[in-house]
Structure 1
Amino acid sequence: MAKYLYVYHGSGKMPTDEAERKAAMDAWNGWYGKLGSAVVDGGNPVGMSKMVLPGGKVENNGGSNPAAGYTIVEAKDIDDAVAKAKDCPILMNPAFSVEIAPIIEVM
């Protein structure tokens, strides 16, 4: 099985209301439970990013498509990884997305 990186794009902001935060965590835990042993690294949310450009210029704009978090999963191929991502809770918000890329082992 190959490993795939899921990069979640969106605001990266956790709900501030306790009930909403619990509902979100329950949805994520349910999805991870459905994926089972395919989850290699459940990942974490991430904060706002900075971009380092050629010449050392730094942009503090959160990136053109801000990352909200990541997960690493195992799948038989990229189509399987895409199928596994279709039930991701972040997709309940139509403004968010999941980018999927194969992890290429070099060593």
Structure 2
Amino acid sequence: MSKYVVAFRGQPGRATSVEEEQAWGAWFGQLGPAISDRGNRVGVTRTLTAAHRGEPGTAVLTGYVVIEADSLDAAAGLAGGCPGLAGAVDVEVAEVVPS
């Protein structure tokens, strides 16, 4: 298994509803033991584009999680459940390059 950074990009100061916050919590619960929180530089990436992303040039990093998966495709599959994708949060998935 490899580690993958799942980074979230959205508009600065974007407000979230109570329902969206609950959906994020539920999604993190579904990721469960796949979550690992260790920082490193990254290699190959894949970006999943949000449905209502706003101006891409103004998007900023809004958070991240590190997960474990068998492949970039498997990691992107897990990331595809991110509730932010239905709104204005792009998700970028990148394999961690061991140091």
TM-score by length of structure 2 reads: 0.70
Q: Does the CA contact (< 8 Å) of 2:6 and 2:94 recur in 1? A: yes
Q: Hey, what's the Cα distance between the residues in 1 that align with 2:27 and 2:6?
A: 14
SS in structure 2 at match of 1:30: helix
Q: Hey, what's the Cα distance between the residues in 2 that align with 1:24 and 1:12?
A: 17
Structure having the higher strand fraction is: 2
Q: Which amino acid aligns with 1:23?
A: E
Aligned length, in residue pairs: 80
State the match for 2:48 in structure 1: none
Matched, 1:102 2:57: no
Larger Rg: 1
State the match for 1:82 in structure 2: 76
Stretches of structure 1 that go unaligned for 5 or more consecutive residues are 42-62
* Percentage of matched positions with identical amino acids: 35
CA RMSD of aligned residues (A): 1.9
Q: CA deviation digits over 1:41-86, x for unaligned, max 9?
A: 3xxxxxxxxxxxxxxxxxxxxx764211111111111010000011
The structure with higher relative contact order (CA 8 Å, sep 6+) is: 2
Cα gap change, 1:65 to 1:25, in 2 (>3 Å): closer
Spell out structure 1 runs of 4+ moving beyond 3 A. Answer: none
Q: CA deviation digits over 1:9-59, x for unaligned, max 9?
A: 11143527xxx2x32221111101111100113xxxxxxxxxxxxxxxxxx
